[in-house]
Amino acid sequence: MTGTTNVLDEKRRTAARGAGRAVMNFDRMTPPRPRVRGVVGRTPANDGHAPAIEILPPGNAMGASDAQLAIDAGQPNVDVIVGADMRSMVMTILVEAGFLARFWQQGVAFVRAAPKLAPGCVLIDVRKPDRFGMDVQEAIQASGLAWPIIAITSQGDVPTTVAVLKAGAETVIEAPVDSEALRSAIRDAARRLSETDANDEVRHAYRCLSLLTRRETEVLRGLVAGLPNKTIAYDLGISPRTVEVYRANIMHKFEARSLSDVLRYAFAAKFG
């Protein structure tokens, strides 16, 4: 066994022990307790990608959908993409607050699975010098996913704070993370999402936007910008006929009778 393999195995064991400590804390909680499910391997429900760990509300059938879990529990959904060094701490905070959560080891897995998940807020770790967290945020924005983003930065890192806020993050929290500050930020983000959902048209727009593929999202951006099919086709390197196919798919997913209906929904969601 190589030295590299030993290091990787030790990192996995450390992460597992951290998650295990957080899970053991659940037994001390007053019933009804949340349930923790480790997700292993590939599932068709999320396009071949799954979170490493899910925190589920008590009393729900294991086969219930994410959307139904959120509705039944009446709690915010939080998708967490943080470093292994703070995973167990974040998990403990979220569980004690009664939030539903999905912990992802890879940001790309979350972005690919997001269209099939119940809406919520996203907690990302942007402390790493390799831009991992920033890349995740950029991928979320590029996907058209309109979920509130909470970013964790290093203490006193003003340039990164400015960058993530400019890129669309709603809230920035400095590490070491204060548990009440994190809970408050998640509740505020969930409240904003709920207030948006109160508007039927905006709710419909967000739901439909989450159903679009990456290419459909790119075509819609062109339509919102007022570009003709030929220009969109040229910009994306595809044929005008293919743009028409994507445009028809978009209208179908929006349940729209005309392009103007699609554009109205897009503008309502501030898409573009």
**E strands of the chain, at which residues?**
35-38, 53-56, 77-81, 100-103, 121-125, 149-154, 171-175
Would you call the peptide bond into 58 cis, given omega within 30 degrees of 0 as the criterion?
Answer: no
Per-residue pLDDT of the chain (272 residues; tens, 9 = 90+): 444 334 334 444 444 444 444 444 444 444 445 555 554 334 333 344 556 677 665 544 344 444 444 434 456 789 999 888 888 899 889 888 888 888 988 888 888 888 777 778 999 999 876 667 788 888 888 887 778 899 998 887 878 888 888 788 888 888 889 999 999 999 888 887 766 555 677 878 888 999 999 999 999 999 998 899 999 999 999 999 999 999 999 999 998 887 877 888 888 788 87
d(CA 55, CA 39): 11
Question: Cβ of 128: how many Cβ atoms within 10 Å?
Answer: 13
In contact, 187 and 98? CB cutoff 8 Å: no
pLDDT for 193 equals 73
pLDDT for 174 equals 87
At residue 163, what are phi and psi to the nearest 5 degrees?
A: -65, -45
pLDDT for 240 equals 95
pLDDT for 42 equals 40
d(CA 1, CA 65): 42
Domains of the chain, each with CATH number or no CATH: 64-198 (3.40.50.2300), 212-269 (1.10.10.10)
DSSP 44: G
